[in-house]
């Protein structure tokens, strides 16, 4: 792990739709980010233009929350300066709360949450249940927010490299957030090699949420992760996925459960590009 987490962040990484409506009507309304994104699906901007939470600013995950694809994976971390500029354009300031939402499983919103927390923002939340949970009005007007003053200071959440992820899989707990069939190596629709990091445990992100797309209660999440071996809040836990997007949702679930998770941002899309890296298949950790 390459950074020490910042304990000054807001105590909960999620907010309910009712809580967001109340915050928007209050004296210190949050900046709202629309991060609708689906892996391999259509771009989220047309959905945003068709209707979004009033005042929400669209954030393009692939253009603003990721760097250029390559050896570091399909969605490597963006350059800190570029990320800061994108957030300031969206109106993000250090002293203003931020709420991110998407329209699916919380992946895009969690990516924004993770990056902002990692970059040192103290008050970031994800709308629990996404846009489907919102009961207020929608608007089509594109807002023009005032420029924010947010300056990234990386280090707010721990970050894994390929080497430290491998070490954590041997000595701690490394969770693979992808679908079980990808972990087992039965299919690989995107990356060049099928399988998983040896020692990692399969923990698909879909099991972090209920049928309405909301996160399970903290006690239920704690029990889920305890079954994988994370039995106390001080346990060393990390997570990876295909390219560092769905893994951010798992990181958020781990934080709800009381852990300080480390994210391997390059994830399988970086790991599988290096033929020297070992690959395990099957249902066992390997």
Q: What are the residue numbers of the active site?
A: 241
- What are the beta bridge partners of residue 240? 176
User: Is 101 exposed, middle or buried (CB count within 10 Å of its CB: 0-12, 13-18, 19+)?
Assistant: buried
The whole-angstrom separation of Cα 31 and Cα 200 is 36
């Amino acid at each position: 792990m390459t950074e020490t987490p910042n304990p000054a962040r807001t105590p909960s990484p999620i907010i309910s739709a009712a809580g967001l409506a109340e915050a928007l009507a209050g004296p210190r309304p949050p900046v709202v980010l629309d991060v609708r994104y689906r892996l391999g699906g259509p771009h989220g901007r047309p959905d945003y233009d068709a209707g979004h939470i009033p005042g929400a600013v669209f954030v393009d995950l692939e253009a603003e929350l990721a760097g250029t694809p390559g050896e570091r994976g399909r969605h490597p971390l963006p350059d800190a300066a570029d990320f800061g500029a994108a957030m300031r354009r969206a109106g993000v300031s250090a002293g203003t709360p931020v709420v991110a939402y998407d329209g699916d499983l919380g992946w895009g919103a969690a990516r924004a949450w993770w990056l902002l927390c990692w970059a040192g923002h103290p008050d970031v939340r994800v709308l629990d249940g996404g846009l489907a949970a919102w009961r207020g009005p929608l608007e089509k007007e594109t807002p023009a927010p005032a420029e924010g003053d947010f300056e990234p200071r990386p280090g707010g959440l721990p970050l894994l490299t390929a080497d430290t992820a491998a070490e954590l899989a041997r000595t701690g707990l490394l969770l693979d957030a992808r679908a079980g069939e990808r972990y087992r190596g039965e299919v690989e629709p995107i990356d060049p090699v099928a399988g998983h990091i040896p020692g990692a445990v399969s923990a698909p992100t879909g099991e972090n949420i209920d049928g309405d797309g909301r996160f399970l209660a903290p006690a239920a999440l704690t029990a889920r992760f305890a079954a994988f071996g994370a039995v106390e809040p001080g346990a060393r836990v990390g997570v990876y996925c295909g390219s560092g997007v769905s893994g951010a949702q798992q990181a958020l679930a781990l934080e709800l459960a009381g852990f300080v998770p480390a994210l391997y941002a390059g994830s399988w899309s970086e790991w599988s590009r290096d033929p020297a890296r070992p690959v395990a298949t099957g249902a066992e950790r390997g």
